[in-house]
Amino acid sequence: MLESGHDECAQDVEEQKGLLTDEEQKLSDAKGDFGNMYFPSLLVAHVTATLLVVLIFAWMMSYNAEDSQKQGFNWENKSPKVFNWHPVLMTTGFCFCATQAVLSYALPLPKLVNKMLHLFWHTSAWIFSAVGLYAVFKFHNENDIVNMYSSHSWFGIATIALYGIEYLGGLAFLMPESYISHQSRKLLLLLHRFLGIATLAFAFTTIAMGILEKVTFNNTGPKKGSEYKITSAAIVVLMAWGLSLSAAIALRNRINLKERKQS
Per cent of the chain over pLDDT 90 is 66
pTM score, two decimals?
0.85
What would the pLDDT profile of 53-112 be if each residue is shown by its tens digit?
999 999 999 999 999 999 999 999 999 999 999 999 999 999 999 999 999 988 889 988
Residues recorded for the chain:
263
Q: End-to-end distance of the chain based on CA atoms, in angstroms? A: 38
What would the pLDDT profile of 180-196 be if each residue is shown by its tens digit?
888 888 888 889 989 99
The one-letter amino acid code at 76 reads E
153: left (phi over 0), alpha (psi -120 to 50) or beta: alpha
Q: Where are the alpha helices (DSSP H) in the chain?
A: 2-19, 22-29, 38-58, 85-91, 98-102, 111-142, 151-171, 182-217, 225-262
189: left (phi over 0), alpha (psi -120 to 50) or beta: alpha
What would the pLDDT profile of 13-50 be if each residue is shown by its tens digit?
444 444 445 555 555 554 455 558 889 999 999 999 99
What mean pLDDT, rounded, does the chain reach?
Answer: 87
